[in-house]
Amino acid sequence: DAGVIQSPRHEVTEMGQEVTLRCKPISGHNSLFWYRQTMMRGLELLIYFNNNVPIDDSGMPEDRFSAKMPNASFSTLKIQPSEPRDSAVYFCASSSRTQFRTSGKLRGTDTQYFGPGTRLTVL
């Protein structure tokens, strides 16, 4: 499997421009996550989808950010208009729920696998 694929890997744009980040999750995974990583705030969850439906977007900073997942193999994160404070590395991750029994207990796991990230610089 190729793993989670993100594009572009680097994006440099000017303030006010629209930016679109793309993600292809691992085939068969039914959950997809968008994160932002900065030195100041670490790794923050922006939004996640289960079965292409947005479940929790409480981490989306403001209305300038939007995310879509039109099908199980593709998602976009859009910033319009972009601002210098949006400069960060944006990661996409995917997971699938698996269940197993250990020590007599049935457990579920949602291990998330991350893509290589998109480094966004807004000038």
Binding site for another protein (CB under 8 A): 4, 31, 33, 42-43, 45, 48, 50, 55-56, 91, 93, 95, 97, 102-103, 107-117
Nearer to another protein, 87 or 112 (CB): 112
Question: Exposed, middle or buried: residue 91 (CB in 10 Å: 0-12, 13-18, 19+)?
Answer: buried
Nearer to another protein, 50 or 81 (CB): 50
> Scanning the structure block, which residue is given the tokens 């949006």?
86
Rounded to the nearest whole angstrom, what is the least distance from the CB of residue 50 to another protein in the complex?
A: 7
| DSSP character at residue 80 | S
Whole-number Å distance between alpha carbons of 96 and 83? 34
Rounded to the nearest whole angstrom, what is the least distance from the CB of residue 95 to another protein in the complex?
A: 7
Task: Say if residues 41 and 90 touch (Cβ distance below 8 Å).
Answer: no
Rounded to the nearest whole angstrom, what is the least distance from the CB of residue 7 to another protein in the complex?
A: 14
